[in-house]
């Protein structure tokens, strides 16, 4: 699923990375706990989070997360926006709450990182 489609489904605003909206993302995870993201996220995933500080972007950068969607209408702070620009990580913000945002994406075909693992294991 292209970021542009994610933006449309979530009625989201693009904060950083307008030029990167044709990037593809195949699976997503939702968490406010950055250590959980580091433990479970797969490279190339989309992160949905309510954590708006700079560590959301650092975590994405370290764990090879492709883009971040902030939920509940939250806006990342200035330091987070600056770092995201430097590291080339698109940031979006949606008014939807976490459950609704995840639900909409799931219905549209986005899958969770756990399911990707199962698929890989089944194909082995």
Partner 1 sequence: MEREFEVEGGNFLNAGSISTKVKEIVKSVGFSPEAVRKIAICSYEAEVNIVLYAKRGRMKLSVYEDYAVLNIKDEGPGIEDIELAMQEGYSTATPEMRELGFGAGMGLPNIKKNSDIFTIISEPGKGTELRIIIRNEKESM
Nearest to 5 by CA among 72, 92, 123: 92
Position 39 contacts partner 1 (CB under 8 A): yes
Position 53 contacts partner 1 (CB under 8 A): yes
Site map (CB under 8 A) of partner 1, residues 56-95, x = contact: x-xx-xxxx--------------x-------x--------
Query: Strands 67-70, 27-30: parallel, antiparallel or unpaired by DSSP?
Result: unpaired
Nearest to 64 by CA among 83, 37, 82: 37
HSE (CB half, 13 Å, CA atoms) of 9?
A: 18
Position 55 contacts partner 1 (CB under 8 A): yes
Among 25, 51, 102, 105, interactor with partner 1 by CB under 8 A: 51
Query: Quick one: which segment of 2-10, 52-60, 96-104, 112-120 binds partner 1 (CB under 8 A)?
Result: 52-60
Nearest to 108 by CA among 9, 3, 31: 9
Say how many residues make up the chain. Answer: 124
Give me the residues that bind partner 1 (CB under 8 A), please: 32-36, 38-39, 43, 51, 53-56, 58-59, 61-64, 79, 87
């Amino acid at each position: 699923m292209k970021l542009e489609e994610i933006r449309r489904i979530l009625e989201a605003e693009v904060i950083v990375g307008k030029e990167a909206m044709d990037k593809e993302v195949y699976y997503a995870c939702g968490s406010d706990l950055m250590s959980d993201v580091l433990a479970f996220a797969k490279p190339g995933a989309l992160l949905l989070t309510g954590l708006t500080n700079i560590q959301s972007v650092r975590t994405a950068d370290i764990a090879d997360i492709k883009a971040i969607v902030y939920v509940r209408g939250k806006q990342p702070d200035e330091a987070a926006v600056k770092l995201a620009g430097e590291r080339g990580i698109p940031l979006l913000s949606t008014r939807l709450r976490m459950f609704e945002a995840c639900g909409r994406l799931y219905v549209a075909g986005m899958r969770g990182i756990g399911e990707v693992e199962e698929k890989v294991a089944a194909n082995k």
